[in-house]
Amino acid sequence: MEKEILKIKEEILFKAKKIKDFELLRDLETKYMGRKGEFTKVLRSLSGLSTEDKKKIGRLANTAKQEIASAFTELKNTLTGNEKESDFVDVTLPGKKEERGHKHPISILMGDLEDIFTSMGFMILDGPELESDFFNFEALNIPKTHPARDMQDTFYIDKPNKNGELDLVMRTHTSPVQIRAMREHGAPLRCIAQGRVFRNEAIDAVHDTTFDQIEGFMIGEDISLCNLVAVLKEMLSRVFKQEIKVRVRPGYFPFVEPGIEVDMSCTICGGSGCPSCKQIGWLEMIGAGMIHPKVLKYGGIDSEKYSGFAFGMGVTRLAMMKYGIDDIRLFNGSDMRFLKQF
């Protein structure tokens, strides 16, 4: 019986596929599958079987019947040029709403910063993330043997140059753009450069290995620390749309003299102390100072005539303070629940 069912199924499918005329196909269907059709007869004869055989062979017969039915539907559709139901497009249905992406919070903040600085006459520059040892360290007055190299441990690219030295690094800060800009544009100069920087760093709530910085520098005659503090205060009050408490303390960076660190009152805890500000109520936000004469020299600028300030701010930390985010890891974590809030 099983063989008979399979044989008749193959016979029907074989004949059906050869037919190129709709009416003939319908005739074939009636011949086999109609009330008195040959396949229907075989199905009817199952009633005489034992219960166990009925179960087993019945299942096979049903599958065969379904296969034949869908083959007939498909062939009929092909012959009449009808589309399959799944291909049918109902143009009257309302369209599917496409989910649109939006800018990352860091990009939003960077856009705001660009607006603020361009309104103060700063031009926007860019620099490579893969930097030479020369621009990242050497020209910023950090010679190879200088202990200041330890302040910014980085990722060296494992491809030695002709002298066997590893001279390509993932930039540890945006400061190399200072030298590139001085060499290209000379003085006077007023620029910002934003972008990603990389450090071999122990990660915690305020330290990441990949984060964003903005570099700002102004070179001209008679530029002083007063200009620097005024620009920074203006920038912070425009980012936060309110007066922001900052404190300035001495800081050491080999590429400035004197050097300062600018801390901001922690907006997460309001200054009372929390893990984001390491319980001190202040968060280190900006490194800055007057550009070292040696750096001006590396940039090809006459340090007798010109002076300048420079600062480097952690944009990721600024975003933490602006949006009240207590963990820096969220920015690079790709968690949609976080990102969709902006």
Q: Which residues bind ligand FA5 (CB under 6 A)?
A: 152, 173, 175, 199, 201, 207-208, 211, 213, 253, 256, 259, 284-289, 310-314, 316-317, 328
Closer of 152 and 194 to ligand FA5 (Cβ): 152
CA distance 291 to 9: 89
Contacts 24+ apart (CB under 8 A), 84-89: none
Whole-number minimum distance, CB 289 to ligand FA5, in Å?
A: 5
Whole-number minimum distance, CB 243 to ligand FA5, in Å?
A: 20
Closer of 287 and 299 to ligand FA5 (Cβ): 287
Q: Residue with the closest Cβ to ligand FA5?
A: 314
Closer of 68 and 314 to ligand FA5 (Cβ): 314
H or E stretch covering 314: strand 307-314
Closer of 24 and 225 to ligand FA5 (Cβ): 225
Whole-number minimum distance, CB 204 to ligand FA5, in Å?
A: 9
Question: How far apart are the two ends of the chain, measured CA to CA in Å?
Answer: 68
Contacts 24+ apart (CB under 8 A), 43-46: 45/1, 46/1
Tell me phi and psi for residue 218, to 5 degrees. -140, 120
Whole-number minimum distance, CB 218 to ligand FA5, in Å?
A: 11
Residue 277 DSSP one-character state: G
Whole-number minimum distance, CB 225 to ligand FA5, in Å?
A: 12
Place of tokens 């809030």: 341
Closer of 64 and 264 to ligand FA5 (Cβ): 264
Closer of 77 and 327 to ligand FA5 (Cβ): 327
Closer of 114 and 284 to ligand FA5 (Cβ): 284
CA distance 306 to 308: 7
Whole-number minimum distance, CB 241 to ligand FA5, in Å?
A: 20
Is 187 in contact with 220 (CB distance < 8 Å)?
yes
Whole-number minimum distance, CB 174 to ligand FA5, in Å?
A: 7
Place of tokens 């480097």: 312
Closer of 57 and 223 to ligand FA5 (Cβ): 223
Strands 189-198 and 123-125: parallel
265: CB partners within 8 A, 6+ apart: 244, 245, 246, 247, 271, 281, 282
Whole-number minimum distance, CB 258 to ligand FA5, in Å?
A: 10
Q: What is the DSSP string of 173-228?
A: SSTHHHHHHHHHH-SSEEEEEEEEEE------SS--SEEEEEEEEEEETT--HHHH
Place of tokens 């300035």: 248
Is 192 in contact with 218 (CB distance < 8 Å)?
no
